[in-house]
Chains A and B, each alone.
Chain A
Amino acid sequence: MSVQQYLTPLTAGEALAQLAGFAGEGRLIAGGTDLMLWLKKKKFSPKALIDITGIEEFQSLEESGGELIIGAAATHAEVALHPAVRRLAPVLAEACGSVGSPQVRNIATVAGNVVSAQPAADAAVALVALGAQAEIISSGGRRAIPVEELYTGAGGSTVDSTREIVGRIVVRAPGPGGGSAFVRMSPREALALPIVNVAAVLYTDGSVITSARLAIGPVARQPFRPLQAEKLLAGAPMGSLEAFEKAAETAGRESSPRDSLLRGSALYRRQLVRVLVRRALQEATVRIAPGKEG
């Protein structure tokens, strides 16, 4: 292994200076559950690992003015159990609770789930459906970019972890009249990547769906939004099974899962998209009415 140093900066500025000092040969590490494997497989061979989980501002995990702030060090377990996340964005709590295993969730970070850029990544799929924004910190300053736009289109992340940091992820909660849900099908409940996962977020005025956002994985090289299906839902009466069926059908047509020895045939997975989109929409609807459980 070529790693020669393990650094633990205390501020974002210090981390950036260390990255700059290694000029592309230093790499950020958060939870490390993906990175440690990639180091072993020589996908990356950095000279230095720069651990950002000790940076205080990255440890935040809170609700503020209807927004959920998820610091770069927040783990899947912390987000899955956080009362405000469960109340305001159950889709995210459920997705975070589906990743890996308890041992992985205790260490792997949600921001890392995004930067790893795996198309099946449960938390990232939920964040795309929620329209979450990532705050990118680089030598040029801080800028907010939708999580959805952090994918290169070729299965990678636009975030260069040798030069910049995802400092936090900000989620605008769907608010009153909103509801969200995450559903997933996998060979077993733990330690299994999903065959298909779906995150649904509905916005309503109490009787009509004003807008809807769906994200599906892994049916493309990144979390996939079936835009036609979303469009069909806007304006439909809340809880209309007919509208849900139509949207699910459309989402199935829009997505293009591949034949996979691990995940099943494209035909089967496309059918699964239909079923899971419908279920996610129904489940999200159940959660709209305030005071109801969920």
Chain B
Amino acid sequence: MTGTQIISFTLNGEQVEVAVKPAESLADVLRKKLLLTGTKKGCEEGECGACTVLLGGRPVNSCLIPAMKARGKEVITIEGLSPSGELHPIQQAFIEAGAVQCGFCTPGLILSAKSLLDRTPLPEEEEIKTELSGHLCRCTGYTQFVEAVRLAAEKMKQS
């Protein structure tokens, strides 16, 4: 007996219902049951940040939390950033700043950036670095991320 429970939560703006096992991680539920594979699993220990999603607007490691914790809450994954299908200004900024290479860390980084910009539309460099400090990247280096968030902030201010 595994005690599967059906939970509902708001996922990328839509109400979803899904059956989850008691200790199943949110990352596994998003990827395997809801087929949203934009959320990546890297280290599965909370070290790399690839699995970052927004829970109640704040970035969390979805590999480290039981999906049960999403019940009744709002979850945003990279797929929900821009429901229209067009690139979100943060995504556009990451491309323009050369902050994307293999792409594995990108979804998590962009979601952390979104959480920061939602709270602080014009963040200082230190704030950007702190907010992104929970992400590891092995391709581009980190200066491009800071640049990308700055660029995104400008784009979002204009629009």
Contacts and interface: CB of A to CB of B under 8 A. Distances in A.
Nearest to A33: B64
A291 B3 CA distance: 56
Interface string A181-196: 0000000011100000
Nearest to B44: A40
Contacts of B59: 102-103, 106
Interface residues of B, number: 33
Nearest to A106: B58
Contacts of A32: 64-66, 69
Contact of B46 (A37, A39, A48): A37
A104 B65 CA distance: 10
A102 B46 contact: no
A36 interface: yes
Contacts of B49: 101, 103
A214 interface: no
Interface in A1-24: 1, 3-6, 8
Given A100-B46, A191-B133, A6 B65 contact: no
B61 A104 contact: yes
A209 B26 CA distance: 50
A134 B134 CA distance: 29
A51 interface: yes
B45 interface: yes
Interface residues of A, number: 29
Contacts of B112: 102-103
Interface in A33-67: 33, 36-37, 39-40, 48-49, 51, 53
B158 interface: no
A1 B52 CA distance: 23
A199 interface: no
Interface string A87-122: 000000000000011111011000000000000000
Given A39-B23, A49-B23, A101-B133, A191 B58 contact: no
B40 to A, nearest CB: 13
A103 B22 contact: no
Contact of B133 (A8, A40, A48, A189): A189
Given A6-B22, A190-B134, A33 B69 contact: no
Interface of A: 1, 3-6, 8, 29, 31-33, 36-37, 39-40, 48-49, 51, 53, 77, 100-104, 106-107, 189-191
A-B pairs, top 9 by smallest CB distance, nearest first, are A101-B134, A190-B133, A6-B22, A3-B23, A4-B3, A3-B22, A106-B58, A6-B68, A5-B3
Interface of B: 1-3, 5, 21-23, 25, 44-47, 49, 52, 55, 58-61, 63-66, 68-69, 71, 112, 130-131, 133-136
6 contacts: A3-B23, A4-B1, A31-B65, A48-B22, A107-B64, A189-B133
